[in-house]
Structure 1
Amino acid sequence: MLNITDTLRDWCHEGRPFALATVVDVRGSAPLPVGTALAVDAEGNAVGGVSGGCVEAAVYELARQVLADRAAPARVAFGYSDSDALAAGLTCGGEIGVLVQRVEPGAQPHVAAALDAVTAGRPSAVAHVVDGPGELVGRMLHIPAEGTHDGTLGVESEDRAVVAHARALLRAGRTASIEVGGGEAETENADDGTCPRKLTVLVHVHASRPRMLIFGAVDFAAALSRAGSFLGYRVTVCDARPVFATPARFPHADEVVTDWPHRYLAATDTDTRTAVCVLTHDAKFDIPLLCLALTLPVGYVGAMGSRRTHEHRVELLREAGVSQDQLARLHSPIGLDIGALTSEETAISITSEIIAHTNRGTGRPLSHGAGPIHLPAEPLPGLVTAQ
């Protein structure tokens, strides 16, 4: 639903009821990920989408029906239909599950609060019950990164479990489905002493932007900062040489820092989504920086240079005490082999490798492979991705 935040926020503040159709399950290849939504108001205005066009018409009509009839939430599945070419189906061959529900802004004011937070850029999650007891399906909680959550499922233990899982997903920056309840450990908090209800909850996540740390104020860094910004990264360019590290040279970077690279990295915030790109080509900068970067739980570490430079760099890193397991995390020479020549092409090569590594892609042409194009997301510890 966060793909249509601005419109939903306006509708909520206007008190305008709407039908919300949300992708809650994906199997195989599908055009859009879990959490993507389409919304329809009473006048028939539509925003968003659930399939890139394959089943939009069918979902639109169902949404209008649920909205007009004030019907209970409806869950429907769509897949490829080879028996009737005109039937609503996914031509990509995958399957999606869609939950369609009526939303009354006045009855769920915390939905507007969540949309306000997302619009303002504050990290927030919306926990959305998509399977469970009928009276709970469609209910939503607003869970900010810090502070008290808004809304309730009616059982304190379930609220606590959902909030804990949602904040784990916020830290990871990932929208995913979780399962809560149904365990003996939480029975003491249930109202009647029985096992809590088993719920499937889709957690829509609006996280802070992931970071791209570019070390080396070189021409390649200018192109890479532009590509990183386009991909949604908060980009920092860092170099110890003030004559090169200037905002005028890197207009697409969110910040330009003059400092020794390893010192800056030690003092700044990083997480598992952070991409570290070392473009300095200078051992006095590279080695202390990589010695530190390879010990941090960042998502990607890459270093630019020829194969000869790479071999020499690895020797120096080993002499500095970097282990083989740590070296295995280093992407060097940085980037995918796409025949890049210009700075802009090199930036595409580097960001392509970052995307492939983040999403467990192979980097091979899709025409050379078989099976599903989109791999299922890996579950985080303690989370169960709905199948």
Structure 2
Amino acid sequence: MQFASDNGGPAPRAVLEALAEANTGYAPAYGTDPLSQEVEERLRALFEAPEAAVHLVATGTAANALALSTLCQPYQTVFCSPQAHIHMDECNAPEFYTGGAKLTLVPGDDRMTAEALRAVILGEEGRGVHGPKRGPVSITQVTEYGNVYTLEALRALADVARDHGLPVHLDGARFANACVALGCTPAEMTWKAGVNVAVFGGTKNGLLGVEAVIFFDPAQAEAFAHRRKRGGHLFSKHRYLAAQMAAYLRDDLWRDLAGRANARCAELAAGLDGIAEIRNEAQANMLFAALPRALHRRLMAEGAAYHIWEGTLEGDDPAEMLTARFVCDWALDAAELQRFVDLVRAGA
């Protein structure tokens, strides 16, 4: 009954086999090996962007922070949601890698609106050299609250950014889950919607650790390779990153894994419907739901693993509703999910 994080799940056999296959003989280092070159071409084909600059890194934090540092000067600011991953979960890495650029939060919930973004952009840069210059717009897709921006919403945000000459960064740690939820192509969710640089995440969707940073205008990526090396994120044995991504792309494994995770989340939402207080629509692979404190305690005593999001298990009122986050990954067993639902129903 593992719902703690899609970071905690296993890698599919195809990925491990690809690593074993790559682990033979010798290959050039630092991304100059044939497999790395092949993966770059395959990602360009997947995104329908033959001129795109493609770079692999091992973590989402590196992908986002290095991408933003390439788009943003130290005296600029990045516009994002208060619940954006770069604000909530990156330990100030974007500020560190950009050399001090700040984050300007766009008021609202986890999904920015074009109107709110425009208002915040217009309100910035009114102090000349005493304030930050406008910089990139960063969008988290899927959001930290499990919601998905529609293609229309993405285009509206990108239109606002373009009106002010600002680039758009898409944090796609759960990129595949969003694509499956929207039933769209990677191109439709990125450059066709106005995104300038996208992170095509793999770690949360079954890979051991690799993310692709894709600049649709290669001129904007000129500094990325140098920043990746300077920041300590250029792997010498780069073929092991490429091997994972190669397996991920083969036969649309990335889409299949995300589809499984999303389907499990929908099943969980259906199972808890009418019992838990559901906080978000199960669009991708994360569900937020409230249950009584006493029931949370019983579930965890039975081995369920997940995180309390609002409130604490400690407290005197057993009936107090505590909101928890449940994350479904590709490997979540259907029987274990049903066991969890049965325990909830039995204790409700």
Normalised to the residue count of structure 1, the TM-score between the two structures is 0.26
Structure with higher helix content: 2
**Under a length normalisation based on structure 2, what TM-score does the superposition of the two structures give?**
0.28
More strand per residue: 1 or 2?
1
Task: Report the structure number with the largest CA radius of gyration.
Answer: 1
**Larger RCO, structure (CA 8 Å, separation 6 or more):** 2
